[in-house]
Every structure is written in C-alpha cells, then in structure tokens.
Structure 1
Amino acid sequence: MLILAKILLGPLLLLQGRRLRKTALRLPEASGPRSGVEIPASYVSASAATAPLRVLVVGDSSAAGVGVEHQEQALAQPLARQLAARSGRPVAWQLVAQSGVNSLEALDLLTRHEIGPATVLVVALGVNDVTSQMSARRYVANLRRLSERLMAQAGVEHIVFSGLPPMHLLPLAPQPLRWYLGRCARKLDGALRAWIGRDPALRYCSLQWTLPHDMALDRFHPGPGQYAQWAVMCAEIVETGFLRHQPVTESV
C-alpha cells in the first residue's frame, strides 16, 4: 500500500516535503556538556569501591536535545540522574548525537568521536530514516551494525532502542504527507520491535505516548515534559531489565 501511495501521491508528497524543509523552524541542539558523572544523593565515600554504571546515548536531534535549552532538560543527563538515584551508584554518561542523522549516518558519526567504555547503550534513531525513505530492512541492518560495533568497541552489554514517535500526529506536516510519514514510521517501528524480540540483550522503549501539544516550539521535537518522561521510561527499562541482575562491585 505504501508503494502504491508513493506512486499516486509522489509529486504532492515531494512538494509538501520540500515546502516543509524550507519553512520549518530550526532549533539548536541543547547546550551543555555531553559527558559527565551523576552521583546519587545517598552515595558516600565508603561506597568508593562501587563501580560506576557507564551509559552511552547515541542518536539524532532528539538525542541531542533539540527542543530544550540545556542537556539537563534533554535525554542523556536526566537518564543518568534517574539511574544514579535508582541504583545508588555513580553513573558515567556520554552523548554522541547530531541533528539530521539517520541510522546509516550514525555509523559514520561514531567514527568521528572518541567512545568511552559503556555497559548500557540507549539509541534514538529512526525519524530521519523515515524522512530519507530508508527501508525497514536496511534500518534494522544499520542498527544491528551499530550495536555490534559498540559491543566490540565499548563493551556494551545491554541496549535500549527508542521506537518511532507517532508521526501520523505530527502537527507540522500537512496531509497527506503526515499520513504517509506515519505509515512509514509504523513500518520501521514494527521491524524494530520484531528484531528486538529475538534478542534478550535488547529492549524497546515506545514513544507512541508522545502528544502534539507537549512538543517543542518547532512542533517537531520533544518538549521538556516529553524528554523528562522519556528519561524516566528508559531508566525503568534499564533498571528492571538489566540492573537487577548486574553486580555493583565490578572492576572500573
């Protein structure tokens, strides 16, 4: 059905897409550090032998915090703070993200950064795969390559993939472009969930709860409330899926 829609609506979709790129409000990535250590309030010097949990966040503009002013309001740092509070141990975090990258371009992005060791990886990629018309098969293949690379390079053991947001509700896009993007997003999201379900080291964080009235000023990226909820959900997935089975005195 998507192929037929693309054939029949192709010229209109192309026109609407070009107009959208020209008129869309361009917001900057969130300012602030892209790495750090979050210390839980309960942490004392006697716990110095406790190894920090190391978290790496990789993604596109949403991972980079477009839509909020500072990384303290975005995804990576609040996620680290949530995990520190839940685990009672320090959390060392690193963010590698850039506006506009899709799953293939994210692989190149990794080569241009020094990646520190990480036990947990959180990935936020997919919206630009929709807009660049990446197939579901290639999307999953790129995420698999990214996962395997970071497992080998950084020692990643557990991965949380954020799903696609409900692009059929995207207020910035006119119809029928909004409908078409929504159908493409659901196809990629379904392929992602199917792949994740076959690997116990992978987890899925749904973004289908996001609502248009909570979005940023550009009506495209998450607003502060959505980022906060996203960080909480990822922290819950990491805690319940991984931390309860991981020793806290491993070597640093």
Structure 2
Amino acid sequence: MHYLIFILIAPLLFLQGKRVKRNTPKLPEAAGPRAGRVGEGCDISLLVFGDSAAAGVGVESQQQALIGVVSQALANEYRVEWRLLANSGYNTAQAMRMLRTELGTQSNLRFDAVIVSLGVNDVLSPLSAKRWIEQQKILVELLSVELDCQTVVLTRVPPMGDFPVLPQPLRWFLGRRSQEFNRHLEQFSIQEPRFTLLDFGHQLDAEAMAIDGFHPGELIYRDWGLSAAKAILLNKSKVN
C-alpha cells in the first residue's frame, strides 16, 4: 500500500527529500583513532563496520560513539583489540566493497566479533527490501567465513518514521520502508543462526538524537553499545 501511495505523491516526496538534504546540517564523523587496544585479560578482537552511525556521526569523539562504548564495556573482562571500518553515506553494497578491499590488502584480517550498522542509506535508495536481504546474506557469509567471526551482530534499521528532521509525508513513507526492511531482516534472523539481531536500545526522540535530527546522540550510542557488548559477552560464554 505504501508503494502505491508513493507513486501518487512521488513528486512531493522528492521535493521534501531535496529540501531536507539541503537544510540539514552535515555533521562530521566522530574524531579520534580508528584502531586501538584497551583492557587486560584474554584477547578479543572487535570490528565496528558500516555507515555514518558506525562512524560516530552525532557525537564529538569515538569514545562517545559505538566503538568507544563497546570496547570499554568489553574491557572489563577482556583485552580488546578494536577497529573501526565505516564511512558516512555508505549503503550495504559500498560497505562490502570497502571490506573486500581491506581483505585484499590484509589477508590475515580476522575478528572475534563484528557489529554492523547498515540499512538507512539502503532505505533511502530505490533498492528493494528483498534485494537488501540478499546482500545481508552475502555479508553474513563474508563476515563468518572470510573474517572467521564467531559473533556477528546486525543492528535493525532505525525507525525512520521517528526521525525528527523528516517532514510528513516523507517521514511516514520512510518509516514504512524501514519497517519493511526490518521484517525481512527478522525473518532472515530466524533462518540464520550465525548472527544476532540487535535494537538501537533507545527511543529515537528529538532529545536523544543528534542536533541534525537524523543521527544518534550520545545516549543512543551508549544504550546501543552496551546492548551490543552484552550480546557479544553472551555469545562468548556460550562458545566457551
């Protein structure tokens, strides 16, 4: 139904999209190193991978962003070797090309745990949800086999119908699109035991989001990171 409505109001949605892109402040990726080591104990290697949310857009430093929260939480029990591989604006296909490039230059690239943030830029594109899930299947295979990763954490697409920066009816349409993507992702998670499906962990209200109304704020990154760390620790305990 929402695609039928899209056809009827496509010119309006297009104009709203252009206006949002023009008027929304472009925030930088969080500052700080993209690799490091923290904690003491047994070794665990961690990769945060994906788009602008993975890159920490919306907060000032990587310590406040997803990689900082997760690595600090895991450092309570492990010696964490962490790395961030993310770029603003990347969709799933672009992110996989980036990862394959890294694999081509570093043949011994391996991680115990990978947290993935992808989907928003796919929702914003003409890509169908079914095609996106096919890409997620390839991604899970790539992470599980090529990176020999035992714990893969995929994050649900955020509820874009709650993004304060989006006007109606664009907000409604993208909200329905993100819901459709998540339904397919949930179905895939039932069939595929090699990954854990994760929520952001906090309502995307205006106060919790970044000043652009589009990216996570510090509170969302904290809840998301703690949830991801919990999922990694739970899976480690099952494996051990």
- Is the pair's TM-score, using the shorter chain for normalization, greater than 0.5? yes
Partner of 2:6: 6
Q: Which amino acid aligns with 2:222?
A: A
Structure 1: segments with no counterpart, 5+ residues? 44-49, 248-252
1:99 aligned onto 2:88: yes
- How many residue pairs get aligned? The number is 235
Are the counterparts in 2 of residues 166 and 207 from structure 1 also a CA contact under 8 Å?
Answer: no
Are the counterparts in 1 of residues 202 and 224 from structure 2 also a CA contact under 8 Å?
Answer: no
Are the counterparts in 2 of residues 165 and 208 from structure 1 also a CA contact under 8 Å?
Answer: no
Deviation (angstroms), 1:208: 6.6
Write out per-residue CA displacement over residues 81-132 of structure 1, whole angstroms, 9 at most, x where no aligned residue: 11221xx221111111000011111111213435631021111001111111
Partner of 1:139: 132
Are the counterparts in 2 of residues 166 and 208 from structure 1 also a CA contact under 8 Å?
Answer: no
Structure 2 counterparts to residues 102-251 of structure 1, below 5 A = 102-113=91-102, 116-207=109-200, 209-212=202-205, 213-240=207-234, 242-247=235-240
Partner of 2:64: 73
Deviation (angstroms), 1:209: 3.2
Of 160-169 and 58-67, the range deviating more from structure 2: 160-169
Partner of 1:22: 22
Are the counterparts in 1 of residues 140 and 195 from structure 2 also a CA contact under 8 Å?
Answer: no
Of 199-208 and 13-22, the range deviating more from structure 2: 199-208
Partner of 1:47: none
Are the counterparts in 1 of residues 39 and 79 from structure 2 also a CA contact under 8 Å?
Answer: yes
Deviation (angstroms), 1:141: 1.1
1:31 aligned onto 2:31: yes
Are the counterparts in 2 of residues 165 and 210 from structure 1 also a CA contact under 8 Å?
Answer: no
Are the counterparts in 2 of residues 164 and 208 from structure 1 also a CA contact under 8 Å?
Answer: no
CA distance in 1, matches of 2:199, 2:210: 19
TM-score (norm 1): 0.89
CA distance in 1, matches of 2:141, 2:194: 12
Q: Which amino acid aligns with 2:215?
A: H
Q: Which amino acid aligns with 2:210?
A: A
Q: Which amino acid aligns with 1:199?
A: E
Are the counterparts in 2 of residues 29 and 64 from structure 1 also a CA contact under 8 Å?
Answer: yes
**What's the secondary structure of 1:64's corresponding residue?**
coil
CA distance in 2, matches of 1:122, 1:225: 18
CA distance in 2, matches of 1:112, 1:201: 23
Are the counterparts in 1 of residues 201 and 224 from structure 2 also a CA contact under 8 Å?
Answer: no
CA distance in 1, matches of 2:192, 2:7: 36
Of 203-212 and 76-85, the range deviating more from structure 2: 203-212
CA distance in 1, matches of 2:227, 2:32: 23
Structure 2: segments with no counterpart, 5+ residues? none
Q: Which amino acid aligns with 1:67?
A: G
Cα RMSD for the two superposed structures: 1.5
User: Which ranges of 4 or more aligned residues in structure 1 deviate by more than 2 Å?
Assistant: 111-116, 150-153, 207-211
CA distance in 2, matches of 1:122, 1:63: 9
